[in-house]
Structure 1
Amino acid sequence: MYKNVLQAIEGIEIYPLISFSIFFLFFLGLLVYVALMDKKYLQSMSSIACEDENHEITTLDSAKQ
């Protein structure tokens, strides 16, 4: 039943192409973003989980005071 309804709509074949293009471009952009990230920033972010919980993290608000 639904197959017949969707076949009757003109121009519907473009929507799967558009959605795949958006999906592909998003993940391609994400891959480029991750590849170009600063390696020092990634290293500092990965070490946060290993730091002591009592270690004070300096933020912009506390740096101004």
Structure 2
Amino acid sequence: MLKFIKGHMESIEGIEIYPMISLLIFFIFFAALFWWVFTAKKEHIKEVSNIPLDTKTDKDYIL
């Protein structure tokens, strides 16, 4: 099965760029996520982490 896929992929011109693009997208996404985590304000992190425990807003969603 793998020989069939590998043989088919080798016949496509320019296919070798796709793994590099995928790696680049992966690296950029996690680098940006890493940067956001370390530059986020502590107040924002505390506010967002308390959302599931906030009972005042639960009444607004009950119909």
Q: CA RMSD in A?
A: 1.9
In structure 1, runs of 5+ residues without a counterpart are: 58-65
1:25 lines up with 2:25 in the alignment: no
Query: SS of the counterpart of 2:8?
Result: helix
Whole-Å separation in 2 of the counterparts to 1:11 and 1:56:
53
How many residue pairs were aligned?
Answer: 55
**TM, length-normalised to structure 2:** 0.70
Percent identity of equivalent pairs = 38
Q: 1:40 to 1:11 in 2, by over 3 A?
A: same
Equivalent of 1:35 in 30, 34, 38 = 38
Whole-Å separation in 2 of the counterparts to 1:10 and 1:45:
48
Whole-Å separation in 1 of the counterparts to 2:6 and 2:49:
49
Match of 1:45? 48
Match of 1:2? 5
